[in-house]
Structure 1
Amino acid sequence: MNVRSALLATLAGAGGDYISGAALAEKLGVSRNAVWKAVKSLEAEGFSISSITSKGYKLNEDNNRLSADLILPLLNTKEIGRNIKVFDEVDSTNNVVRELETEKAPHGTSVVANRQTAGKGRIGRHFVSPPGVGLYLSVLVRPNFDLHFAPMITAATACAAAEAIEELCGSNVMIKWVNDLYMNGKKICGILTEASLGLEMRVLDCATIGIGINVHSIGDLFDAELKKTATSIEDETGIRLDRNRLCAGILNRLEIYLGKISDRSFLREYRERELLTGNMITAVVGTEKLIGEALGIDDNANLIIRLPYGEIKYLSSGEANLCRIVN
């Protein structure tokens, strides 16, 4: 690790406290002048650092730069996020992870971007990903459970992301089956899982989990039509979250929730947050449009609906598109 990265990680780990130049120099094994130069280099990159002669340096809370050096000190995972790459711009974080997968990247490899030019949504939709306002994160997982558990990856991820957001902003986060997070009736996050099957089509070789969250105020970055259904955490709560802290919180919880898939224990949390149950909904299955009452979530994370004539259907992530609440 170079002096710049080591300094940033040390300041991030100080929890907002000042560290003297002498202490930093001793810890990093460099001169105080090298510390000063590294501080100036970080400031030139856009990091906000305060300095007081009698106290030293501290990393301010108003930084809006995504950095692996700021995320890694906040992780308490064994594997998820430990190999992490942060980019200013990519076409799609899912695409980058899939490229890394072909290079035999390890389980838990994560890619974070400040902007996506071709962000992916479900059913071929585009996920609007403007710079500086969102957290665009993809994680490579190499599961150790059977193939039939694969559809539950998205649902478990939704629980992890909802919990991380809720802890930082204090506002309730709901899950709209199967992959959207909602706050105050509007979407703040979408999740897309892309799976790769083994040669015999009987095992899940790996999966790429993509998470896109609208964190800071969207202002005029979304068009009028999108604003009818989408919002951001800041717009709903007035709280401007640190995207690095949010990223680490999601990765920490993702490792926990992935471990809950085999015994399905995450479903309790999912059902408590799921907002379609008890409502009349519409769903699209292939070319067929269904209207019915959402009865709940079964043990395979399928949505159970009752059609007008009493027929019960179980909609899986592999068969159904996003459901919409009927007003």
Structure 2
Amino acid sequence: MNVKSELLANLANAGGDYISGAALADKLGVSRNAVWKAVKALEAEGFSISSITSKGYKLNEDNNRLSEDLISPLLTTKEMGRNIMVLEEVDSTNNVVRELETEKAPHGTTVIADRQTAGKGRIGRSFVSPQGAGLYMSVLVRPHFDLEFAPMITAAAACAAAEAVESLCGSKVNIKWVNDLYMNGKKICGILTEASLGLELRELDCATIGIGINVRSIGKSFDSELKKKATSIEDETGIRINRNRLCAEVLNRLEPYLGKITDRSFLKAYREREMLTGHRITAMIGNEQLEGEALGIDENANLIIRLPYGEIKYLSSGEANLCRIADQ
């Protein structure tokens, strides 16, 4: 038995209440001195734990250390996050999941990192991922639907992530088609889905959903240009969200949203948050820039725009590299 791991799980399950050293020792089958040593070892690793002589130990809500033992007790899922890996540093969590996919990792396998050195954005862009400041996670999904539904995975994941953030901070989160979450007009989250096709190229073998959320204050992590466009939950709300709880909330919502793709019922929630509709926008299609009015989202999660001369065009996430509100 790993005393530290078991102790952490017990503190997490206590829901913010104190547990006496005697009770912990009894549960773990060790001495109170062993409990004290385990607490000190966890504190040395960065976990925030309070101790009061008459009450015992409590895991503080402001704990910012990511841990499987802190995420798992908060999950209500059947498969999402049930096979989970928390790492200190990776190049990209998407890369790690894709490696695990080749090893036949199960549906719902989740990789989380405290820091990414080469976080991925769309069309080859990077996603700045400083240590201790964000939630950088990737989920392996093995969906049971045809290839035509694959472009909707990102939109469904955006709904799940938006709801998760909103549930913990109370501030409105919008979606900028197709993969970015915004708060107060600035980006707080990016989502990148990378799909693997079956041998006949007509079915989706699996997909890796990468989600990067700026949680804690970005401070000096972003340069001046990036700060004009991006922000964090803490910088916008003043709330220091627990990253473990946010991770669990994303997974708890992602599972049901993925189940709503084939009947397209998730689109109602997506449309309610989508922020381009009703605005004049510019969109890059390859090297060509289009300008028109965003009319809404169709049944395949495509963006509908009306060009200046009246033509209606449907933009897929695969062809539109960048969409912006033209008057911003």
TM-score normalised to structure 1 length: 0.99
Contact 1:186 1:229 in 2 (8 A): yes
1:167-206 CA distance string (max 9 Å, x none): 1000000000000000000000000000000111011000
- Contact preservation (8 Å) 2:88, 2:115: yes
Which residue is equivalent to 2:21?
Answer: 21
What is residue 236 of structure 1 aligned with on the other side?
Answer: 236
The residue identity in structure 1 corresponding to 2:326 is V
Output the amino acid matched with 2:110. Answer: S
Amino acid at match of 1:297: I
Runs of 4 or more, structure 1, over 4 Å off, are none
Asked whether the equivalents of residues 22 and 32 of structure 2 are also in contact (C-alpha less than 8 Å), the reply is: yes
Instruction: Provide the residue aligned with 1:205 in structure 2.
Output: 205
Q: Distance in 1 between matches of 2:267 and 2:322?
A: 19
Alignment of 1:49-198 (within 5 A): 49-198=49-198
Corresponding letter in the other structure for 1:311: E
Deviation at 1:146, TM superposition (A): 1.3
Q: How far apart are the structure 2 equivalents of 1:62 and 1:212?
A: 20
Q: Secondary structure at the match of 1:11?
A: helix
Alignment partner, residue 293 of structure 1: 293
Q: How far, CA to CA, are the matches of 1:223 and 1:43 in structure 2?
A: 32
Instruction: Give, in whole Å, the separation in 2 of the partners of 1:216 and 1:79.
Output: 28
Q: Secondary structure of 2:281's partner? A: strand
Other structure's SS at 1:61 match: coil
How far the C-alpha of 1:221 sits from its partner, in A, is 1.1
Distance 2:32 2:59 in 1: 17
**1:257 corresponds to 2:254:** no
Deviations along 1:208-234, whole A, 9 cap, x unmatched? 000011111111111111111101111
Give, in angstroms, the shift of residue 29 of structure 1: 2.0
Tell me if structure 2 keeps the 8 A contact 1:141–1:208.
yes
Indicate if the aligned counterparts of 1:177 and 1:322 stay in contact, CA closer than 8 A.
Answer: no
Q: Matched residue of 1:166: which SS?
A: helix
Q: CA deviation at 1:322?
A: 2.5
Secondary structure at 1:218 match in 2? coil
> 3-state SS of the aligned residue for 1:127?
coil
Match of 1:282 in 2: 282
User: Contact between 2:62 and 2:241, CA under 8 Å: does it hold in 1?
Assistant: no
2:267 corresponds to which letter in structure 1? L
Question: What is the deviation of 1:321?
Answer: 1.3
TM-superposed CA distance for 1:111, in Å, is 0.5
- Distance of 2:114 and 2:102 partners within structure 1: 24
- TM-score using structure 2 length: 0.98
- SS where residue 115 of structure 1 aligns? strand
Whether the 8 Å contact between 1:136 and 1:211 is mirrored in structure 2 is yes
**Cα deviations by residue, 1:131-180 (Å, 9 ceiling, x for unpaired):** 11111010000001111111000000000000000010000000000000
Count of residues in correspondence between the two structures = 327
What residue ranges of structure 1 are gaps of 5+ in the alignment?
A: none
Aligned partners of 1:27, 1:186: CA distance in 2, in Å?
A: 47
Q: Distance in 1 between matches of 2:245 and 2:214?
A: 14
For 1:193 and 1:285, locate their aligned partners in 2 and report how far apart those are by CA, in whole Å: 19
Query: How far apart are 1:23 and its partner, in Å?
Result: 1.1
Q: Which amino acid aligns with 1:243?
A: R
- Between stretches 265-274 and 27-36, larger displacement belongs to 27-36
Would the aligned equivalents of 1:178 and 1:322 in 2 still touch at CA under 8 Å? Answer: no
Looking at structure 2, the residues matched to 165 and 142 of structure 1 have their Cα atoms a distance apart, in angstroms, of 25
Aligned equivalents of 1:285, 1:227: Cα separation in 2: 26
Give how far 1:240 is off.
0.7
Separation in structure 1 between the aligned mates of residue 92 and residue 59 of structure 2, nearest angstrom: 30
Question: Over aligned residue pairs, what C-alpha RMSD do you find?
Answer: 0.8
Q: Within 2, Cα distance between the matches of 1:44 and 1:214? A: 25
> In the alignment, which residue of structure 2 is the partner of 1:2?
2
Contact (CA 8 Å) 2:173, 2:182: kept in 1 or not?
Answer: yes
Residue 40 of structure 2: aligned partner:
40
- 1:46 and 1:189 mapped to 2: Cα distance? 25
Q: 3-state SS of the aligned residue for 2:139?
A: strand
% same residue:
84
Instruction: Give the Cα separation in 2 of the matches to 1:55 and 1:25.
Output: 14
Task: Return the offset for 1:31.
Answer: 2.0
